Chains A and B, each alone.
Chain A
Amino acid sequence: MMQPDEELNRTKSRSRRLIYALSMRYLGIALVCCAAAGGAFRSRMYFVFSLCAAGGIFLAWGWFSYLAVTGLKVPGAGSLPKARPDVPYSLRQKKRRWQKPAFARTDADFEDDLTARTHVSEGEFDELQLRAVRIRARLLCSAALFALSLIIRY
């Protein structure tokens, strides 16, 4: 049996892993979009500028999702789902897997010996934790984008 403290630390470290994984996913998408923007303008400078712009977007996104979680009504940002009186039969926390295309699959979608024990997926967190994780991931991604824009010379 696990001690409460130990349990807490475990979730902490697991949510850190998920933050890292998520922010890298965001970063990947952002980089592709920025590269496309730079290409469209045919300018290295625009690539850097769009990195900054993407950083700004993720910063605002993260912040407004934070506000939404803490109760502000932000149109479109989506507020916390109402605490439902009952969880219907399923009792699931996102138990049903969507049919994913092959390229979107991660380790978690395969249950075999090759999946690392440390692998985390969104399914094991509840909605509130997930939101906290997403907010942090967005802010981290934004910081990474800004940092990247400072490194690249043009």
Chain B
Amino acid sequence: MSRYILRRALRSLLTVVIVFVAVFMLLRLMPLSGYFPPEMIKEADEATRMVYLRNQGLLDHPMVQLGRFVGNMFHGDLGRSLTVYPKVPIATLLKEKIPVTAAFGFASMLIGIVFGVGLGLFMVRFKDKAGDKLGTVFILLVRAVPSLIYLFFIQVWISKWFNLPLIFYKDRPISWILPTICLSLSSIAYYALWLRRFMVDEENQDYVKFAQVKGLPKREVLKRHVFKNAAIPLIIYIPYDLLMIIAGSLVIETLYAIPGTGGLLTTAIKSQDNNLVQVIVLMYAILSVIGVFLGDLLVAFVDPRIKLTEGE
């Protein structure tokens, strides 16, 4: 078992390094104009520009640049933002924004798992009955209607009915409720949908019928046998989802004026902030690799079949 984990860990580490190198090399192909601070684009001539680029080390061989970037990274220096937040160190920027987004994301994911799994179980238990149909309507609404529409309604009407603040204030915890709920809606739908699907699929298996023949009532069979099997494919993605929380949600953060990371990448690309793009892309790439690794690990603990097939 430990050898399995070690092998997976080493492989993931290598994957991170390779993804890092590949992405870094590709980002070297971004237009050089993205490296100039705003004042320089207007005024400076070709010669000063070249000098600036040379000083920044941007004309060095990509390998050299890579080495320098990694060296700085270990000293906590990720470079500075150019156009979006001029001259602000990116490390500081992320340190400010990530906690906000992460707090919301984590809370909403927790709600999503608890209520999503609950809803999924409820729908399976009362399959093809009114409860199931109601749940299906909810899932369909959340997934099919553009999120802006219902989010807007929630912001306007729910806040009025319960007398909640319309936007986010850092010092008023009561204003944190609505955005969290809005964020969790889609993950509730997601978990309920997949859990129901997997459970219904699993219910047709022979061992479920055999458990029923043993004399266990349906409710017990669902609880004891079906749930664990159906949860395994969901569990794989939980660490990934957890880590990717930091991507934030553009729509909700904009609606409630939350100073989070939502839409940071889009803005950075739009305003050609090469340094910022580079850091964010690398961060996402690395986190998703780690997320996949942790998911595999988690499943290896839950699913006895993994140990066997790996022959450890």
Give the size category of A's interface with B: 10 to 19
Which chain A positions have C-beta within 8 A of B61? 48, 52, 149-150
**Does A56 contact B15, Cβ atoms closer than 8 Å?**
no
Which chain A positions have C-beta within 8 A of B14? 63
**Does A60 contact B19, Cβ atoms closer than 8 Å?**
yes
**Does B21 contact A37, Cβ atoms closer than 8 Å?**
no
How many angstroms between the C-alpha atoms of A53 and B24 in the bound complex?
8
Give the size category of B's interface with A: 10 to 19
**Does A49 contact B18, Cβ atoms closer than 8 Å?**
no
A23 within 8 A of B: no
Which chain A positions have C-beta within 8 A of B11? 67
B29 within 8 A of A: yes
- Nearest B residue (CB) for A57: B22
**Does B18 contact A63, Cβ atoms closer than 8 Å?**
yes
Nearest CB on B from A70, distance (A): 8
Known contacts A37-B29, A67-B11; A52/B62 CB under 8 A: yes
Nearest CB on B from A127, distance (A): 21
Known contacts A146-B63, A149-B61, A150-B63; A59/B29 CB under 8 A: no
Interface string of B1-35 (1 = CB under 8 A from A): 00000000001001100110111111011000000
B59 within 8 A of A: yes
**Does A67 contact B15, Cβ atoms closer than 8 Å?**
yes
**Does A56 contact B63, Cβ atoms closer than 8 Å?**
no
A50 within 8 A of B: yes
- Nearest B residue (CB) for A55: B25
**Does A49 contact B62, Cβ atoms closer than 8 Å?**
yes
- Nearest B residue (CB) for A61: B22
Which chain B positions have C-beta within 8 A of A50? 29
Nearest CB on B from A125, distance (A): 25
Interface string of B193-215 (1 = CB under 8 A from A): 00000000000000000000000
Q: Which of B21, B22, B23, B26 has the most CB of A within 10 A?
A: B22
Which chain B positions have C-beta within 8 A of A57? 22, 25-26
The listed residue (A37, A45, A56, A150) touching B25 by CB distance below 8 A is A56
How many angstroms between the C-alpha atoms of A63 and B8 in the bound complex?
14
Which residues A6-51 have CB closer than 8 A to chain B? 37, 45-46, 48-50
Which residues A115-146 have CB closer than 8 A to chain B? 146
Known contacts A67-B15, A150-B63; A49/B21 CB under 8 A: no
Which residues B57-77 have CB closer than 8 A to chain A? 59, 61-63
- Taking Cβ atoms with an 8 Å cutoff, the residues of B that contact A are 11, 14-15, 18-19, 21-26, 28-29, 59, 61-63
Return the 6 tightest CB-CB contacts between A and B, nearest first: A56-B25, A56-B22, A60-B22, A52-B62, A49-B28, A52-B25
Listed by A's residue number, 20 A-B pairs whose Cβ atoms lie within 8 Å are A46-B29, A48-B61, A48-B62, A49-B29, A50-B29, A52-B28, A53-B25, A53-B62, A56-B21, A56-B22, A56-B24, A57-B22, A57-B25, A59-B18, A60-B18, A63-B18, A67-B11, A67-B15, A149-B63, A150-B61
- Taking Cβ atoms with an 8 Å cutoff, the residues of A that contact B are 37, 45-46, 48-50, 52-53, 55-57, 59-60, 63, 67, 146, 149-150
